[in-house]
């Protein structure tokens, strides 16, 4: 603020105060923008209104805006000859398996494909693609993983699993928000049970750290309900090896919280979410078979001993309100739970059985693009359309895709099955999930 002096006729000094040459609303000085009080005032006024600094540059705001405008003008277009909105409309239609190449074109494309806007737009327009992610333990005990693009029938390269999970046992795996794959808990061969949690972002193709669990555990049960991750039971080193405790991770709050404990300690070996409840089946402290159900709305565990649990022994998944499970070792038969009779019924048979060896054993059953996807230890995949099944002609709804080591010829397949069965194949699938991007 500038002060000038004028001398009047009576030789008295008169002070004239000139207003500062800056809009106080857009002031860039270091005065606190919070509420301040003026001496003698009876109410609060915004702090920026008190600014009377004489060294303010009145063109500061304008120069910054103009500099940003110049940078924006100087940026090359995403696609030459097209405005950016039309360029984005073209880029979101590029198949997902080409996205790693798109990120290498230029900085603007890299930044576009590294943010949530691009993939959120693909999802809102129904262009997001689902891939099957397979986590496998190799013959040497090391963890590797692979992604399969069902549309183009191609296996995609992935960044290595972080070292803390390269040799872990009994860890959990789940998907939140459709594009984040979490690995948590487990047992390190040297350090024992872990609380650690990491996640892979399918949109950026990178691994990140996440908050640790509250309890160390391995060989536990896990599920996702309403985009929240639940874990329960399992084992841990100590006097009480088998656990009753359970906890939940909320990605919106980015924290873990304990929930009510199970009725009895359990090491689950199978679980599924069905009809709004989480069903678990496992072994108790004395190796007896137990089964419980958890209702997230009421935070209550209850014992279950109905027909669904008693006849439930293989991988299962809930799709469109119905519960499906595998009915044979190679996954070529499906069963469906019938609520009216409280029993499992035979649903569909592919008529193309591959064998009973460990190599052809069905290790995972997931929902993919509204269909059931069966993944076997030899990385072969079958997709079943259960929405309108034709049981007289299963070939019309049952598609088989050869894996990395899958032999399609039935004669050689049966021969390989018997050889693999005698040799005791050690390589097997640990987890299967579906990620969208």
138 in the same domain as 109: no
Q: Could you give the CA distance from residue 219 to residue 189 in angstroms, rounded to a whole number?
A: 14
> Could you give the count of Cα atoms lying within 13 Å of 297 in the half-sphere of its Cβ?
3
Cβ count within 10 A of residue 262: 23
The range of the structural domain enclosing residue 120 comes to: 75-124
375 in the same domain as 280: yes
320 in the same domain as 282: yes
Structural domain includes residue 146: yes
The pTM of the full predicted model, rounded to 2 decimals, is 0.79
89 in the same domain as 66: no
188 in the same domain as 168: yes
Torsion of CA 100, 106, 111, 112, to 10 degrees: -70
* pLDDT one digit per residue (tens) for the chain, 437 residues: 444 444 444 444 444 444 334 333 333 333 333 333 334 434 434 443 434 444 434 454 445 555 555 555 578 899 999 999 999 999 999 999 999 999 999 999 999 998 889 999 999 999 999 999 999 999 899 999 999 999 899 888 899 999 999 999 999 999 999 999 999 999 999 999 999 999 999 999 999 999 999 999 999 999 999 999 999 999 998 777 999 999 999 999 999 999 999 999 999 999 999 999 999 999 999 999 999 999 999 999 999 989 999 888 889 999 999 999 999 999 999 999 999 999 999 999 988 888 888 899 999 999 999 999 999 999 999 999 998 766 656 656 888 886 554 434 443 444 434 343 434 456 899 999 999 99
Domain CATH for 116: 1.20.1280
What is the residue-wise DSSP string for 303-319? E--SHHHHT--S-EEEE
100 in the same domain as 56: no
Structural domain includes residue 151: yes
* Contact indicator for 174, 230 with CB cutoff of 8 Å: no
Q: Could you give the CA distance from residue 83 to residue 68 in angstroms, rounded to a whole number?
A: 19
146 in the same domain as 117: no
Taking CA 257 as the corner, what is the angle to CA 253 and CA 261, rounded to the nearest 5 degrees?
150
The rounded Cα 178 to chain-centroid distance in angstroms is 5
311 in the same domain as 170: yes
134 in the same domain as 244: yes
Helix or strand (DSSP H, E) at 74: helix 60-74
274 in the same domain as 138: yes
Number of domains in the chain: 3
In order of 181, 195, 327, 362, the CA distances from 133 in angstroms are 9, 23, 23, 15
Q: For residue 287, give both structure tokens.
A: 């190796």
* Contact indicator for 395, 329 with CB cutoff of 8 Å: no
Q: Could you give the CA distance from residue 102 to residue 106 in angstroms, rounded to a whole number?
A: 8
Structural domain includes residue 235: yes
40 in the same domain as 101: no
């Amino acid at each position: 603020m500038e002060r000038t002096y004028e001398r009047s006729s009576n030789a008295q000094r008169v002070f004239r105060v000139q207003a500062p040459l800056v809009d106080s609303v857009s002031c860039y000085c270091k005065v606190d923008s919070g509420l301040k009080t003026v001496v003698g005032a009876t109410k609060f006024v915004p702090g920026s209104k008190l600014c009377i600094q004489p060294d303010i540059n009145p063109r500061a705001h304008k120069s910054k805006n103009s500099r940003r405008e110049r940078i924006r003008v100087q940026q090359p277009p995403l696609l030459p000859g097209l405005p950016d909105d039309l360029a984005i409309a073209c880029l979101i239609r590029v198949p997902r398996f080409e996205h790693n190449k798109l990120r290498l074109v230029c900085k603007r494309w890299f930044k576009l494909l590294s943010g949530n806007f691009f993939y959120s737009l693909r999802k809102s327009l129904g262009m997001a693609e689902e891939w099957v992610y397979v986590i496998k333990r190799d013959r040497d005990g090391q963890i590797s993983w692979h992604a399969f693009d069902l549309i183009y029938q191609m296996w995609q390269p992935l960044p290595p699993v972080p070292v803390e999970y390269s040799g872990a046992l009994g860890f959990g795996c789940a998907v939140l928000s459709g594009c984040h794959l979490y690995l948590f808990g487990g047992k390190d061969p040297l350090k024992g049970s872990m609380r650690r949690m990491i996640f892979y972002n399918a949109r950026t193709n990178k691994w990140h750290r996440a908050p640790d669990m509250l309890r160390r555990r391995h060989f536990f049960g896990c599920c996702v309900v309403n985009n929240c991750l639940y874990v329960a039971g399992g084992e841990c080193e100590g006097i009480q090896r088998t656990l009753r405790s359970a906890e939940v991770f909320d990605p919106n709050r980015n924290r873990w919280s304990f929930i009510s404990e199970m009725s009895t300690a359990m090491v689950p070996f199978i679980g599924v979410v069905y009809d709004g409840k989480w069903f678990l089946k496992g072994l108790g402290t004395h190796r007896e078979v137990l089964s419980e159900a958890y209702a997230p709305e009421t935070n209550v565990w209850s014992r279950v001993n109905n027909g669904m649990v008693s006849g439930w022994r293989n991988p299962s998944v809930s799709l469109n309100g119905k519960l499906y499970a595998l009915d044979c070792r190679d996954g070529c038969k499906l069963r469906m739970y019938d609520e009216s009779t409280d029993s499992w019924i035979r649903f569909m048979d592919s008529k193309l059985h591959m064998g009973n060896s460990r190599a052809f054993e069905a290790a995972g059953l997931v929902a993919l693009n509204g269909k059931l996807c069966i993944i076997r230890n030899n990385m072969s995949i079958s997709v079943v359309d259960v929405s309108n099944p034709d049981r007289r002609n299963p070939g019309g709804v049952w598609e088989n895709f050869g894996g990395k080591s899958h032999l399609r010829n039935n004669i050689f397949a049966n021969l390989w099955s018997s050889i693999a069965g005698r040799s005791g194949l050690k390589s097997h699938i640990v987890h299967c999930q579906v990620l969208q991007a």
